Structure 1
Amino acid sequence: MISLLFSGVAIVLLLTAGYWVRGRNGQRPTGTWAMAALLVSFALAFASYVPFVESAVESLVPHVGRLLSNSFTLAAATSVLAFLLQLNLEPDEAIRSIRLRVLFLCASVAGMAVLFAAEQLTDRSPKLYACYVLIYVSYLGVTAKDFCEQTWRQSKRSRRRSQRIGLRVTSAGCVFALLYSAYKVFGAVSVGFGLGLIPENARCSTPVTPFRCGFSVTAPALAVLLIALGLTLPAVAWPFSQFLRRRWETRSYAALGPLWQDVTGATPEVVLAAPELNEKNEKDADDSDFLLHRRVIEINDGALALRPHRSPRVQESAERGVAARGMAGTPEGDAIVEAAVLRAAVHAKQAGSETRAEAAPPAPGASSREGNLRAETEWLLLVARAYAQDGVAGSVADELTPAGTDPQA
C-alpha cells in the first residue's frame, strides 16, 4: 500500500513536470524551470521512500535514503519560493532573492549531511539526529508558512477563477506541510531528550494506521499533491476553458442564425461590411468570438432600426399570453414578448407599413446588458428560441399582423 502510494505520487509528479517543461506556442510561462524543479524534487523525494529504491541506495550507504529524501524536499521547497518570487518581484530582485535562498539551501543540506555522517559514526546519536531534524524542519516550516501566506493573499487578487481555486488549493497543501513540520519537531524533541513519545523504527501499515501515520505519511503526501495540483490547475484549466468558450460561441452563432436572417432581411443596412482580409485580420475573420460579436451587433442594430414598427398591441397581447402561462416577469417570458414584438415589426417593415408615433418600449434589462457580450448573447438566445419555436410569440405576431395588412389597424 505504502509502496504503491509513493510510486504513484512520484510518477504523477514527473509527468506534471514534463507538462510544465514542454513549450507552449514557442514560449514558456514565467517560473517554468522553478516549477519543474519543484515537481522533480518532490518526485525524487517520494521515489526515495519506495522500498526497492530505498533498499538499493541503503545497500551502499546505510540509512542514506532519509538524507536524500529530506534534501530533495528542501530543494522542492526552495523551488516553490523561487516560483513565487518570479511571479511577484521584478526580475533583478527575484534573481537576488532566489540566489540567497539557494545559498541557504546549500548550507542547510551541508549541515544535514555533516550531522548525518556524525550520527552514523556515533552509533546514531539521538541528539545529533534531533539537530539534523531541526535544521530540516526549520527550513521546511518557514518556507511552507511564507508560501501559504503569499498564495492565499494572491488568490484574493486573482481575476481568473482557475487561479483563485488553484492558489487556495496550494494554500491547503501548505497547511498539511505545516502539520508535517510540527510533527517532525515533536518527534525531534522526543528523540533528542529520550522521551519515547514516538516509537522508533515503527512502520506504517496504512497511510492512517497507526494514528501518527496521518502526520508522517498522509500529511506530506497530501501537501505535495495539493501544492502540485493547485499550481498546475490554472495551466490545465485555461485551454479547457478556452475550448468550452469557443464551443459556446460557435453554437450561439448558429442558434442566432434564424433571428439574424429575419432581422437583417428587413433591415439590410445594418449588416456590417466584410473586412478586407490581410495578415492582420485574416485570423479574426474565422474567430468564433469575432463572428459572434458581429452577429450580436447586427441583430441589436436591426432591432433598433425596427423600433418605429414595434407594436404596443402586439406587446400587450404577448404579455397576456405569457401571464396566462405563469411566466410573467421571468427572462423566458420577457424573451417571448420581445420575440413577438420583433416578429411583428419585421412583418410591418417588409409590408411597407408606416412608422408609429408611439412604439412599444424595449425589453427589460436592456441597459444592464449593454457592453456585456455574454449577457447580451444569452438574452438574444432566449429571444431567438422563442422567435423560432414559441407558440405565443408566433401566433400573436401573425394574428395581429397578417401578411399584406397594416399592423396598426
Structure 2
Amino acid sequence: MVVFQVLEWTCACAGLSAFAHTVPALLRRRRPRPATVALSAYFLCSGVSFLIALDAVAPAVGRALGDPDRVSLVVHLAVLALTAAQQVVLAHWTYPPARAARRARGWLVAFGAVSIVLVVLFAHLKARQEVSGIEETNWRQLGGGGYTVYLCLLFGALAVGQVETVRLSWRYARMANRTWLRRGMAAVVVGGSLCLLYSLLGFAEVAGHGEAMAKVDLLRWLVGDLGAALEIFGWTVPTWGRRLSALAGWVGRYRAYRRLRPLWAALYEASPAIALDPPRSRLGELVPPRDLRYRLYRRVIEIRDGQLALRRCATAPDVADGERRAEDEAAALWTALRARQVGGAPVAVGVPDVGDAHGDGGGDLAGIDGEVTWLLRVADSFASLANGVNRGG
C-alpha cells in the first residue's frame, strides 16, 4: 500500500540521515560517550531495517545475501539491535554512570543472546525446509511450529524492550529541563507504546486463525511504522527543534525590525541625531542585517531617543502609563511630529516616557523583548494614522 511505502521510505531516510548527523560527533571525540554511540547505532539500525525491507530494495539485498529469506532475518536482527540501543541511551541518561553501565551491559547481553537464538532457529528451519519465502505477512500459511517459536521469541523481546523504553522515556521527560527534549521524550513514549502494540498484535496473529487476522496484520504494520516514525522523531527533535526555535526567533526579530521602520523613519526625519548609523535605503532594508538582534535593539533605543527629543515640541499631560493605550501613544507621537514640522508652539499631547511601564527599562539586549512588543503595537497604530492621512490627501 502507498501509505506503508511512504512511511517506510520516510523512516529509512530519517534514520540514515540522523546517523550521518551523529558521525561527526563520534569522530570528534577519542572516546565518545556511550549514550552517543548507542544513539548513533539506533539511527543506523533503524534506517537499515526499513531500507532493506523496501519493495524496491529487498530483492537486490536478497540476491546479495544469497537467499531472499535472509532479508527478513537481517531486518529482525536490526530491530532487536535498535531496541537494545534505546535501552543503553536511556540507561545512561537516567541513572548514575556505574548503574547505567551495568544496566546497559545487561540489556546488550540479553538482546545479543536472543539474536543468537533467532539465527540458530532460522538456520534450523531452513535446513529442515520448514521455511520458504519467509515473510511475517504469510506465517499463518506456513504451519511450522518452529517458526511460531521464532516469532514469539522475537515479539517477546521487542515487547519487553518497548515497555522499558516507554517507562524510562516517561521518567526522563519529567526530569528534562529543556522544552524540545521533553517533547522528544513524549514522542518516544507514544511511539514506544505503538511499537508495543505492534508486538501484542503479532502475538494475536500467531494465535489467531481465519480471515479476520488479515485486518489485524494491516493494523499491526500501520501501528509499527507509525511507532517507529514517532520514535525517530522523538530521538532527533531535541537537535533540530532548537534550530527550528532559533529560526522562528530570527524571523520574528526580522519582522519586528521591518515593522518598526515607519515609526523609526518618522522620528529620524525629525531628529537625525538619534541614529548611530546612517539609514539604509528601503530596498536595503529588505536585506536582513548580519547582526539582526543588535540592529533591532538599536532601533528600539533610537525610537526611545526620538520620542524624548519630541518633548521640546510637545508637553505631556498627567496620564498614568498603565492607562495609556498604544493608539494614544501613536496619536501623541503623530501630533507632536506634525507640530514640529510646522514649527508651532508646544501642544498638550502625551509623549511617553519609554521604558518605564512597557519595557524593562534596563537598556540591555537580553531584556528588550517586552519593549519590542509594546513598540510594535505603537508602530502599527502610527502606520495606520499615516496611511489614513495619505489616503485622505
Q: TM-score, normalised by structure 2?
A: 0.68
Q: Write the letter of the residue equivalent to 1:230.
A: G
1:311 aligns with 2:329: no
The 3 A distance-change label for structure 1 pair 152 and 352 is: farther
Task: Name 1:173's counterpart in structure 2.
Answer: 191
Task: Name 2:214's counterpart in structure 1.
Answer: 210
The structure 2 residue matched to 1:112, chosen from 118, 125, 131, is 118
| Maintained 8 Å contact 2:45/2:78 | yes
Query: What is the CA–CA distance in structure 1 between the aligned matches of 2:389 and 2:66, rounded to whole Å?
Result: 84
| Maintained 8 Å contact 1:34/1:83 | yes
Q: How many corresponding residue pairs?
A: 350
The 3 A distance-change label for structure 1 pair 310 and 80 is: farther
Task: Name 1:341's counterpart in structure 2.
Answer: 332
| Maintained 8 Å contact 2:16/2:43 | no
Note the alpha carbon deviations across 1:28-59, whole angstroms, 9 max, x for none.
99755433321221232234434414643675
| Maintained 8 Å contact 2:330/2:379 | yes
1:80 aligns with 2:103: no
- The range that moved more, 333-342 or 299-308, is 299-308
The 3 A distance-change label for structure 1 pair 84 and 253 is: same
1:136 aligns with 2:142: no
Query: What is the CA–CA distance in structure 1 between the aligned matches of 2:353 and 2:196, rounded to whole Å?
Result: 56
SS in 2 for 1:312: coil
Note the alpha carbon deviations across 1:187-243, whole angstroms, 9 max, x for none.
44x2xxxxxx246xx9xxxxx993022244222222222211232234334334423
| Maintained 8 Å contact 2:42/2:82 | yes
Q: Write the letter of the residue equivalent to 2:193.
A: V
Query: What is the CA–CA distance in structure 2 between the aligned matches of 1:337 and 1:22, rounded to whole Å?
Result: 57
The 3 A distance-change label for structure 1 pair 209 and 361 is: farther
Q: Write the letter of the residue equivalent to 2:328.
A: V
The structure 2 residue matched to 1:390, chosen from 375, 385, 389, is 385
Percent identity of paired positions between Structure 1 and Structure 2:
25
Query: What is the CA–CA distance in structure 1 between the aligned matches of 2:388 and 2:95, rounded to whole Å?
Result: 58
> Structure 1 regions of 5+ residues with no counterpart?
191-196, 203-207, 274-284, 317-328, 396-409
Query: What is the CA–CA distance in structure 1 between the aligned matches of 2:93 and 2:329, rounded to whole Å?
Result: 49
| Maintained 8 Å contact 1:166/1:229 | yes
Query: What is the CA–CA distance in structure 1 between the aligned matches of 2:231 and 2:268, rounded to whole Å?
Result: 53
Query: What is the CA–CA distance in structure 2 between the aligned matches of 1:307 and 1:93, rounded to whole Å?
Result: 68
Query: What is the CA–CA distance in structure 2 between the aligned matches of 1:266 and 1:231, rounded to whole Å?
Result: 54
CA drift at 1:179 = 0.8
* Residue pairs, 1:3-402, within 5 angstroms: 4=5, 8-9=9-10, 11-21=12-22, 23=24, 31-49=35-53, 50=55, 51-53=58-60, 55-56=62-63, 59-60=66-67, 63-89=69-95, 94-120=100-126, 124=130, 126-155=144-173, 162-188=180-206, 190=207, 197-198=208-209, 210-260=214-264, 263=267, 286-300=290-304, 303=307, 309-312=314-317, 334-344=325-335, 360=350, 367=357, 369-370=359-360, 373-390=368-385
Note the alpha carbon deviations across 1:247-277, whole angstroms, 9 max, x for none.
332342243244345557878998789xxxx
RMSD: 4.7
SS in 2 for 1:238: helix
CA drift at 1:354 = 8.0
The 3 A distance-change label for structure 1 pair 130 and 252 is: same
CA drift at 1:377 = 1.3
Query: What is the CA–CA distance in structure 1 between the aligned matches of 2:162 and 2:378, rounded to whole Å?
Result: 53
| Maintained 8 Å contact 1:310/1:344 | no
Query: What is the CA–CA distance in structure 2 between the aligned matches of 1:364 and 1:302, rounded to whole Å?
Result: 10
Q: TM-score, normalised by structure 1?
A: 0.66
CA drift at 1:180 = 0.8
Query: What is the CA–CA distance in structure 1 between the aligned matches of 2:387 and 2:72, rounded to whole Å?
Result: 75
SS in 2 for 1:370: coil
Query: What is the CA–CA distance in structure 2 between the aligned matches of 1:144 and 1:254, rounded to whole Å?
Result: 49
Query: What is the CA–CA distance in structure 2 between the aligned matches of 1:306 and 1:157, rounded to whole Å?
Result: 52
| Maintained 8 Å contact 2:329/2:351 | no
Note the alpha carbon deviations across 1:371-390, whole angstroms, 9 max, x for none.
75334213212212333441
Query: What is the CA–CA distance in structure 2 between the aligned matches of 1:219 and 1:90, rounded to whole Å?
Result: 34
SS in 2 for 1:212: helix
SS in 1 for 2:214: coil
| Maintained 8 Å contact 1:9/1:43 | no
CA drift at 1:121 = 5.0
Query: What is the CA–CA distance in structure 2 between the aligned matches of 1:165 and 1:393, rounded to whole Å?
Result: 46
Query: What is the CA–CA distance in structure 2 between the aligned matches of 1:289 and 1:168, rounded to whole Å?
Result: 32
| Maintained 8 Å contact 2:16/2:48 | no
SS in 1 for 2:215: coil
| Maintained 8 Å contact 1:155/1:165 | yes
> Structure 2 regions of 5+ residues with no counterpart?
131-142, 278-288, 362-366
CA drift at 1:73 = 0.2
Note the alpha carbon deviations across 1:316-341, whole angstroms, 9 max, x for none.
9xxxxxxxxxxxx9xxx932211122
